[in-house]
Structure 1
Amino acid sequence: MNEEFTLGVFSDPHSNLLSLQAVLEDMVSKYPIEKIACLGDIVGYYSQPKQVLEQVLEVSDYIVKGNHDEAACKNIIPNDFNIFAAQAIQYSIDKISVDDKKVLNNLSPIETVTIDEKSVQFCHGSPQFPLDEYTFNFTSQQDAIFEFMNFIDINILFLGHTHIPYIREVNGKIIANPGSSSQPRDGDNRPSYIVFDIKNGLGKIERVSYDYEQIIKMTSEAGLPAQLGERLRKGK
């Protein structure tokens, strides 16, 4: 089989420009990428929300809105955000412009496209609750997701939000999570992304090393919670 990994997918860059750049450079240097998708949560957590938004807009062919993006563009702090996420989203709210917020507000929470004659859907959380439902790689929850997918004409579903990468196939349909290009939570502190050969239904998870200590320093200098920097060291 002649594999052609032409779709690159990343998620949850969360205002971490250095890690996003490392992911993008790795992606385009290794694979013949033709299209790039961002699965949301562009802002929040770290200190460069405006710069990351600009980078995402520059490189991405498909972009969907995440719950942090929704909070920032509406100037609200959701009740379910912990104290660290709340402080960080307020930082993003203060740093991005009115025009940036309009851009975030205009992003769709879900997008369905046809690639290589396959129906492909992008969302941040899940098809049912695209902004904020966590879809972990647990069999029971996967079964529920795929039961829902039986009623829609989707071949491949890409989603993020969990910061944990995986690729699963059930009954001929694929669900794939690229993890986070910024703040991994599976115990591996390297940012992750996915490349996909849509035609052949094949995907690969890639990890990238970068200087996260630089981001920890920038996080501290911005007055953001130290716990956010520590997560970059631990990868969880």
Structure 2
Amino acid sequence: MGTSIAIIADIHGNSAALKAVLDDIDKDEQVEHIYCLGDLIGIGHQTNEVLELLFSRHDITFVKGNHDEAVLKIINGKEPVSVGDERKHHNWIASRLNEKYIPKLLSIPNRQFRNINGKNFLFIHYHLNEKDEFMPIDNQPTIGKLDAIYENSDADVICFGHHHIVHHFKSKQRLYLNPSSVGCSHKPLTSYVKLHVGENEQIDTSFIEVPYDNKEFLLSYEKLNVPDRNNILRIFYGEQHLQYI
């Protein structure tokens, strides 16, 4: 029989994309649990809608992302690492966050460990250094570099997000997976991974893309006067909104 799970990452305040992914996952009765790899909020403007969708379910395990951390620091009166327009954006997100979600957000750890059918899984938002800080994004990842980072880990499978592109690396030591981003794409598509661990510890991995209607989500950046919206719409959505103007 084995065990099937879904892995999602980088929702980034996009409830339209998240709903499409969750609806697709829910069609598969074999999926027993969902693991969410952080950045629930930030970049997108549907903060409370996303958190309501996620926290109302009882089948999701979370790790914290850098945008989640930045917004929580602002709420707690601390200095986030973000600066300039990104800091303004995080302040705006923090100001609109329903405070009922804060305790749950604060409780989310940086990493989660699970044993699934004999395989040791590590779930993180991105690679962490010895100070538990996120390392800079490596735009040219290799099996060798990943094995060097995790040479002291006993994990068989390491699942991470942050870098909004698919990673699928397999070394002699372990499997590395990044499902890509739920909420940020240059096409009206949202992404996740479905993973099945068989009774003999074999792993089947499926990278899934789900189409969704992102028109209202993209046009609302201007309507809501979201700080740093021009950069966000260009960098994270490839200026798809221009086709609707």
Question: Which TM-score band applies after superposition, normalised by the shorter structure?
Answer: 0.7 to 0.9
Q: 1:188 offset after TM fit, Å?
A: 4.9
Q: 1:102 offset after TM fit, Å?
A: 2.5
C-alpha distance in structure 2 between counterparts of 1:192 and 1:58, whole Å: 21
The change in CA–CA distance for 1:208 and 1:40 in structure 2 (over 3 A counts) is: same
Percent identical among aligned pairs is 21
The change in CA–CA distance for 1:25 and 1:55 in structure 2 (over 3 A counts) is: same
Say if 2:6 is the partner of 1:8.
Answer: yes
C-alpha distance in structure 1 between counterparts of 2:176 and 2:40, whole Å: 21
Question: For 1:6, what is the secondary structure of its paired residue?
Answer: strand
Unaligned 5+ runs, structure 2: 241-245
1:56 to 50, 54, 57: 54
- Give a deviation string over 1:152-201, Cα, whole Å, max 9, x none: 210101000011112111114101001110003xx555221111113322
Amino acid at match of 1:197: H
Q: 1:99 offset after TM fit, Å?
A: 3.6
- Give a deviation string over 1:10-32, Cα, whole Å, max 9, x none: 11111110000011112222562
Given that 1:125 and 1:131 are in contact with CA atoms closer than 8 Å, whether structure 2 keeps it comes out as no
Say if 2:179 is the partner of 1:181.
Answer: no
C-alpha distance in structure 2 between counterparts of 1:188 and 1:5, whole Å: 31
Alignment of 1:55-204 (within 5 A): 55-59=53-57, 60-75=59-74, 78-80=80-82, 83=85, 85-128=86-129, 132-134=134-136, 136=138, 138-140=140-142, 142-184=143-185, 188-199=187-198, 200-204=202-206
Q: 1:227 offset after TM fit, Å?
A: 3.6
The change in CA–CA distance for 1:5 and 1:234 in structure 2 (over 3 A counts) is: farther
> Pairwise CA RMSD of aligned residues?
2.5
**Counterpart in the other structure of 1:222:** 224
- Give a deviation string over 1:63-104, Cα, whole Å, max 9, x none: 000011111111156444562x33332222011133422321
C-alpha distance in structure 1 between counterparts of 2:3 and 2:94, whole Å: 36
C-alpha distance in structure 1 between counterparts of 2:158 and 2:214, whole Å: 30
The change in CA–CA distance for 1:171 and 1:203 in structure 2 (over 3 A counts) is: same
Count of aligned pairs between the two proteins: 229
Higher mean C-alpha deviation, range 18-27 or range 71-80:
71-80
C-alpha distance in structure 1 between counterparts of 2:157 and 2:91, whole Å: 34
Given that 1:121 and 1:158 are in contact with CA atoms closer than 8 Å, whether structure 2 keeps it comes out as yes
- Give a deviation string over 1:17-68, Cα, whole Å, max 9, x none: 0000011112222562111011000110122111211212233431000011
Amino acid at match of 1:162: H
C-alpha distance in structure 2 between counterparts of 1:54 and 1:197, whole Å: 28
Rg bigger for which structure? 2
Say if 2:32 is the partner of 1:34.
Answer: yes
Given that 2:11 and 2:183 are in contact with CA atoms closer than 8 Å, whether structure 1 keeps it comes out as yes
Say if 2:211 is the partner of 1:209.
Answer: yes
Given that 2:233 and 2:239 are in contact with CA atoms closer than 8 Å, whether structure 1 keeps it comes out as no
Higher mean C-alpha deviation, range 157-166 or range 145-154:
145-154
Unaligned 5+ runs, structure 1: none
Amino acid at match of 1:119: N
